[in-house]
Structure formats: C-alpha cells, structure tokens
Amino acid sequence: MYKVYKESWLKYYKFTISDFICLNITFLLPLISGIISKTNYRSYLGLAVMMWLCFYIYVLLNDAYHNIYCRGYYEEVKVVVYQVSLIYLWAIVIAFVLKTSTIYSRFYIIIMYLATITLTYMARNIIKGYSKKRLRSSGKTKKVVVFTYRDKLDKLEEIISSIENNDCDVYDFDRVVVLDEPPHLAGTVPHLISKDAAYHYIKKNVVDEVVIYASNYNDLIFEIEETCISMGVVVHYVLGERSSNYPVKEVVEDFGQFKVVTSGLNVISARQLFVKRTIDICGSLVGLLIMGICCLFVAPMIYLKSPGPIFYSQIRVGTNGRPFKIYKFRSMYPDAEKRKAELMSQNKMSGLMFKMDNDPRIIETIGQFIRTTSIDELPQMWNVLKGEMSLVGTRPPTLEEFKQYSFHHKSRLAMKPGITGLWQISGRSEVTNFEDIVALDNQYISEWRMISDVKILLKTVMVVFKRCGAV
C-alpha cells in the first residue's frame, strides 16, 4: 500500500498546528508576564480573532509548507518572517478599518510580532529535526532497492539525495542493481549481481519500495515492475529527463485510460481555482455596485461632451484564443477606431499594441479623467462576473493584435484575462516594448499563486490613487 499526500495540508498538519499554537502563545505572554492587566487584555482578544482569520486565509491562499523539509535554516527564516509579517499586517489593516487600532499598544504589538517569529521558527526546526530522528530511531525508514543502467549511474547519487532531502519520510537506499554492468562499481550503495539476485533479496529481506531509473520503458522494465508488484512492493518509475526554455511545471495524472505527464507554464489545483473564482465573484459584485454609483455622474458628462453610447464594447481575445465582448465606459469619440490608422506613426509602443501620448481621440476632460482613474474599466466587472475575465490576469488583445501574434506571444493567453495585472502595476506607460509585456505576463502565469493576486490587487489600488501609469 502507498499513501499519497501530494501537497495537501494533511502532509504538513504538524506545522499548521504548531504555527497556530505559536501565534496564540504570543498573545498569552503579555498577560502571563504581567505587562498587561486582565482588564486591558480583553481588548486584545479581538485582535487575536483577527489573527486567527488572517492565519487561516494565509494557509488557504498560499502554499506555506511546500518543500518545508528541504529548506535550510536561512531559507526558513525568510519564509517565517514573510508569513508572520503578512498575517500581522492584514490584522492591523482590519483593525484600522474597524477603527479599533488605537486601543492596542504599539510596544506590545512589536513584542508579540518578534515573539511569534522566534517561536514559529524554533518550532518548525524542532519538528523537522524530531520527525527525521524519530523515523530513523523507530526503524520506520523505508527500505529501497534501485534498478538502473550504467549510463544512469552518474545521476543516481543526485536522485537519491533529492529524494532524501525533499520528503518527510526517511529512505534507506539498501541495494542497487545495474542491469547491464558487472557489480564491481564504485558507489555509496551496495550492488546486487543481477535482477534475479534482486528478486531473491526482495523476497527474503525488508524492502518497502523499488525505484526504476531507466531511459526507456521496455520488456525488461515491465518484467521487473510486475515481479516487484506481485511481491507487494511499491514501484516508482523515474520519468525521462526533459528540458525546456520555459519554466515548465509538470504533474502525472490520468488522461482517459492512460497515465500521462502533463506539462504547462503552471499547474493549478481545483482548490486554487475555486478560491480565485470566489474572489472574482465577490469582487465583481462590489465593483458593479461602484460602477452603478459612478454611472450616475459619469454617464451624463460623457453624453454632454460626446453624444452617443455611454458604454463601449469591443471583441477581445481571451483564454487560449477564445473571443468575447469586453465592456468599458466610452472614453473616446465615436470615430476613434477610424482615426487610429492615421495616428499609427505616433505609436509609442514597440510591437503589437497601440498607445500614444495626448491621444486626440480621447473625449476632452471626462475621457482623460476616467482613464487616469481607471473608472472606464469598471464595466468589465460584468465580464468578470460572467467568467470571461478575472480581477487579476493578463490584458486581452484585440482581434487585430491577436492575428499578428508569433507562437510565443500566445502564451500570455494561457490564463483568463484580467482587469489588472503585473504589467499595470509595473508602470504600463513606461513599459513600451511588447516583448517586455509578454515577459511580464509569462512571469505572472508561471509564478502564479493566490497570494500573488492579493498583492497585485493591493498595489493596483495604490497605483490608481496615485494616478500613475495610466494613459
């Protein structure tokens, strides 16, 4: 039998519980030490509840414990400081919004913040060290036999080291079988003379798992796999090495009746997609409410300055090339598209996008205002609610731009397009090379985590209020 944990919280439940306990202990320290009286301490319980909520949200949105067993001491310090800082920052912002921040002492908050970092860091290292030591001393190490070929021996030590350092289990690589070479070879792991000798060794000794490291899956590998499985031993087949110019993520999954390796710029779980979509729906509903209020003031001004439709719609290209109709408040005169050709010589963008300074097609005063403040983007909340767009993503191209794409340009459409994104918060008026925009979009997609969207949304609000980076 083989337990599959993947990267779920269950695999790292010890760290989740430990972090939560450390967060709560720091709230008790001021009371236990007598720094805060019981009467004053009650006000801090509200802050503790905010911390619990922020901790839960952080664990939900972020892969907080990914590869925790292979992190060094310095790397763990950075991760702990980042996690604790973000949780405290969120809690303080919530307290500020609720107008309760003034009742908390800054001195006590700093003490609790530093104590949380210290306790969390110490607890994590104790758990990691204890878990490994306990497994080794209890005899629960997993005994492994490796089947491989001569041309793979150079990388065998690297694979063994990788497995030992990247998992919460402790492995004992007991024997190696080189299928096309005599047994007298250098190495840290003892060799068996042949596959038949390996079969007898597995039968008579404790062997939990087998690793097969070969270039091709052939009849011999099939025989080894079947024989080992017939003895109840778990078999791991190391997939062939592949290289790519892109930061490719891979996952093994079922595809119909076949077991396949799925590759892409990123691999996102159903849980992450559900959270992202939930945030999109909630955000779009709030956005539509704000749009309705703005419409009461913006619509008459648009019509007075330029009689015609209040809203502007255009066919854009979405996920993997799917066309959809995007909506905006109209910020340009009705003949804007016709006049675009005569203004192409003033395009400041290098590549497949059009932007120019002091665009004469923009409606005087109101047009520039709603573009600078990004109010013109609010009707796209309807696209978000319908599921055609997301709050955060890559900007959808026009059909004309899409038709001129090279192969690598289409990678920016691998995720659902968004109202804001990495390009927008990077100063979109300063980034004038289309290839740089594609690079930013690919960076967003390949490095995407839910916490990335939260950061971009917060930075977008700051950019909008500063009225910078918009044209």
* Same domain, yes or no: 149 and 196: yes
* Same domain, yes or no: 187 and 102: no
**Is residue 443 in a domain?**
yes
**Is residue 248 in a domain?**
no
**Is residue 255 in a domain?**
no
* Same domain, yes or no: 54 and 40: yes
**Is residue 278 in a domain?**
yes
**Is residue 252 in a domain?**
no
* Same domain, yes or no: 195 and 235: yes
Q: How much is the CA Rg of the chain, to the nearest whole Å?
A: 29
The answer to whether residues 262 and 253 touch, using CB atoms and an 8 Å cutoff, is yes
Greater model confidence, 260 or 401? 401
pLDDT in tens, 366-416: 888 888 888 889 999 999 999 999 999 999 998 988 888 888 888 888 889
* Same domain, yes or no: 181 and 133: no
Structure tokens at 284: 């779009």
* Same domain, yes or no: 276 and 417: yes
* Same domain, yes or no: 219 and 347: no
* Residue 202 in this model has a pLDDT that exceeds 60: yes
How high is the pLDDT of residue 292? 92
pLDDT in tens, 293-350: 999 998 999 888 888 888 989 999 998 889 999 999 988 887 777 777 677 766 666 6
**Is residue 251 in a domain?**
no
**Is residue 180 in a domain?**
yes
pLDDT in tens, 146-176: 888 887 777 777 777 776 665 555 677 777 8
* Same domain, yes or no: 103 and 45: yes
**Is residue 31 in a domain?**
yes
- Look at residues 137, 160, 176 and tell me which one is the last residue of a structural domain: 137
pLDDT in tens, 269-307: 777 888 899 999 999 999 999 999 999 998 999 888 888
* Same domain, yes or no: 30 and 153: no
How high is the pLDDT of residue 471? 42
Domain that holds residue 54: 9-137
How high is the pLDDT of residue 418? 93
Listed in sequence order, the residues at least 6 apart from 427 whose beta carbon sits closer than 8 Å to its beta carbon are 468, 469
pLDDT in tens, 182-198: 555 555 566 777 888 88
Helical pair 73-97 and 38-61, crossing angle rounded to 10 deg: 120
Place of tokens 């497994």: 135
* Same domain, yes or no: 104 and 170: no
Give Cα separations from 410 to 233, 246, 248, 249, 429 (angstroms).
45, 13, 15, 18, 22
Above pLDDT 90, what percent of the chain? 13
Average pLDDT, the chain: 79
* Same domain, yes or no: 297 and 435: yes
Domains in the chain, number: 3
CATH number at residue 177: 3.40.50
